[in-house]
Amino acid sequence: MLEAALGLFAGASFFLPRLPGFFGEYLGLTGARLDGAEMLACGLATHYVPSAKLSLLEATLTCRVASSTSSSCDFDSTISTIIDEYSLKKSTLVKKCLSKPTMEEILSDLEEELAKANTREAGDHNEWLAATIQSLKKALPMSLKITLRLFREGQVQGIGECLFREYRISCRVKQGKISKDFREGCRATLSNMDKKPKWKPSKLELITDHMVEHYFSKLDGDDKEWKEFKFPTRSKFPVFANSKL
């Protein structure tokens, strides 16, 4: 689910930012699901062959393997070489656009790439760019800025630090002191389902660094009902001696 469409934010700030090529930022900001080419680009697959080429790949494999009398090592190499012939190569488009330091620059680069793509036959690139831009423009601007910062910092932080920050931001979102857009997002997406949320602030450029910083600030001190997350100590759990579990 696209959390930014609800006025929330994307979690998983420990492992998603560790995907290569800024695919973590792409998934967190857009809520997209990876297709074959994107799985290949972020290192989660070794090859990607478009559906239209599968029958040709099968025929080539059948023909060459049937006529092959080489050793097992060469046989494996032959298989890999054949698949490489029909496989798409990694795209650098996600890395190029999503590597920018701010949401404003990311969106600007995507729109610039789409304008360039429209002047030539770019095929899937046009469709991907248009869908990504549309998704970002529909999302809550505040959520996008929070998620981007969360992911960039999560690249160099441990899982404990990431969990602390995600809990803290969740509490700040529910408090609604800067914005009540979480309720508005739930209304537009889950309740009334009119898909027309009225975000406040409504644009990226209206959101200051100070506003974003509020969501990352500690909870202790400003409200007794909201406390910092604490991991339970091990002593609170029962210890089973000689347990076979």
Instruction: From residue 24, give the alpha-carbon distance in Å to each of 79, 175, 189, 196.
Output: 31, 27, 24, 27
The larger pLDDT score, comparing residue 8 to residue 110, is at: 110
Distance CA 190, CA 128 (A): 26
- Mind listing the pLDDT tens digit for each residue in 38-89? 777 777 788 888 788 888 888 888 887 777 655 555 677 778 888 888 776 6
Number of H helices, E strands in the chain: 11, 0
Asked whether residue 233 is assigned to any structural domain, the reply reads: no
> 97-126: buried (b, 16+ CB within 10 Å) or exposed (e) per residue?
bbebeebbebbebbbebbeebeeeebeebe
**Shared-domain flag, residues 112 and 160:** yes
- Residue 102's pLDDT is what? 94
Range of the domain at 61: 51-86
| Whether 64 and 120 share a structural domain | no
Q: Is residue 59 part of a domain?
A: yes
Could you count the other beta carbons within 10 Å of the beta carbon of residue 134? 11
pLDDT digits (tens, 9 = 90+) for 131-154: 889 989 988 899 999 999 999 999
Average pLDDT rounded to a whole number, residues 195-223 = 88
CATH of the domain at 140: 3.90.226.10
Q: How many domains does the chain have?
A: 2
| Banded model confidence at residue 9, pLDDT cuts 50, 70, 90 | confident
Q: Are residues 140 and 65 part of one domain?
A: no
| 102 or 93, higher pLDDT | 102
pLDDT of 146 reads: 92
Among residues 11, 26, 31, 22, the alpha carbon closest in space to that of 139 is found at: 31
Q: Is residue 174 part of a domain?
A: yes
The average confidence (pLDDT) of the chain is: 80
pLDDT tens for 106-124 read: 999 999 988 887 765 555 5
Examine residue 175 and state whether it is found in any structural domain, yes or no.
Answer: yes
* Position 71 in a domain: yes
Residue 135 C-beta-side C-alpha neighbours within 13 Å = 21
Same domain, 55 and 141: no
Query: What local confidence, expressed as pLDDT, does residue 245 receive?
Result: 36
User: Is residue 225 one of the residues assigned to a domain?
Assistant: no
